Amino acid sequence: MEKAEQRTKTLEAVRWLAPLPALVIYIATNGVFADWISIILVLGFLFGFSGICNAEKKRIVWENIVKDIRNALNEVGQKEAIFEVKTIKIGMVVRVYLVKAKQRSAACSKAIVKSVSEGWYRRYICATQIIDLHKKEDLKDAKLILDDDLLNDMKEKLEERRRNRKK
C-alpha cells in the first residue's frame, strides 16, 4: 500500500473519531456556558474537523493524480500540459489539457488512461477528460467544451439509470 493511500485511509478513520473530543468539549463548556452555546461549539468542532480531514484527503489524492499523470506524459515525451481536478458530488473529474501534443495526443491519452486506471486513487475518479490545445490561450474555450461534455454524459447516465429502474 502506498504511503499516500495509507494517509487517506487514516484521515477517513480519524474523521470518525471526532465525537470523542466533541464530548470532552461539551463536558468542559457545559457548566461554563449555556447549553445552546456548548452545543454550537460542539457542532462547530465536528463540522470543522470533518472539513479539515476531507480537504486534506482531497489534497493528497489530487497531488498523486497529477504526479502520476505528469510521469506518464514525460514517458511519452509530452512536456507541456495543464491539469485540473474538480470535485463534484459523485467523485472527481480529472482534466488534462495537452499543449501542442499533435501526433502524440493518442499516445498521451493512452498513457493518461493507463495511469489513472492503475492508480490507487481510481475509486475517487468518476471521469477523465483529455483535450489537445493549439495554444494555452485556448484554455477557456476548452473548459466550456469539457463542461458541456461532462454535463451531457451525466444526463445520459441519469437517463439510463432511470430506464433501468423502470424495467
Each residue's pLDDT tens digit, 3-31:
989 999 999 999 889 999 999 999 999 88
pLDDT-derived band of residue 58, with 50, 70 and 90 as boundaries? Answer: very high
Which residue in the block uniquely carries the three cell numbers 510521469? 71
Give the pLDDT of residue 113: 93
Which residue in the block uniquely carries the three cell numbers 447549553? 35
- Cα separation, 62 vs 60, in Å, equals 6
Q: Which helix (H) or strand (E) holds 66?
A: helix 35-75
Q: ∠ CA 113-90-94 to the nearest 5 degrees?
A: 30
Mean pLDDT calculated for residue range 30-43: 92
Average confidence score pLDDT of the chain? 91
Which of 31, 30, 23 has its CA nearest to residue 49?
Answer: 23
pLDDT-derived band of residue 161, with 50, 70 and 90 as boundaries? Answer: confident
Per cent of the chain over pLDDT 90 is 65
